[in-house]
Amino acid sequence: MATTNAPARRSRRAVTAAGLLPAAAAVLLLGGCGGTSAHGTASTGRPDGGGRTAAEAGAAKVPDATTFSTVPGAPKDAAPDGATDGLVVHPTEAAPVLDRPGGRRIATLPATELGGPTWVPVVESSGGWRRVLLPSRPNQASGWVSGAGLRTAHTSYTVRVELGKRRLTLLKSGRAAGRWKVAVGGAKTPTPTGRTFVLASIVPPDKRQSPIVLPLGTHSATLDTFGGGPGTVALHGWPDASVFGKAVTHGCVRVPADALKALSRVPLGSLVSISA
């Protein structure tokens, strides 16, 4: 993977999961564990009701790239088992997503997701274009965004989930910073494999199951919805330690309290690699 950095003057430190305030989207738990009931998309019309430009009309025909949407025509991640150099980007305003550099517009990447800033990982670069993973269906969806107007940061963290071993490893600069037994998806509701990323950090109103929920940019392959939400897979805690080491969830990854505390410090956009 050839990766070059965007201009340094736009660089900034990535937001950590623990740094977010409780999100209005946290009406219910997300994931193959629950979800929010509704989500609005940004209007592309003019406030005064006037005519649209060609660019605005084109934008109105494509979805926002969020966990609630499907992006038809999104190129599939070419290296779902691959690594990155930790480059993550944040659009300072809604950014067009194309199917290839200079190609057809397939979506709009909003500046915020689930009440916090949008940070997505860069998996490939070509000139001034960045190929990023998208939080939308289908799983492993990606798209190209212009490097202009993007804030950039580097994260040293990677989360590795091994489903067969029911194990989560937190890596910092390539070295294990923690390793825990976790609960993963059951046979009928498996946790999806491939690389994804930490999409958001949500403090649920009922913290008895988990004090924090970390939605990922991937979805259950067998559940179109769960608890009123879009079937978003998440990392979260669980009060009953007997589940750890078992395949019993609806697709989410349930982690021990000390693991959740460590994961809450992982910056948004950080890569999460899920393997069989």
Which tokens sit at 2? 């050839």
Active-site residue flag, 252: yes
Name the residue with tokens 């990392």.
235
Residue 90 annotated as catalytic: no
Torsion of CA 266, 271, 272, 276, to 10 degrees: -150
- Does residue 138 have a cis bond before it (omega within 30 degrees)? yes
Q: Do residues 31 and 229 lie in contact, with contact meaning Cβ atoms separated by under 8 Å? A: yes
By annotation, the residues acting in catalysis are: 236, 252
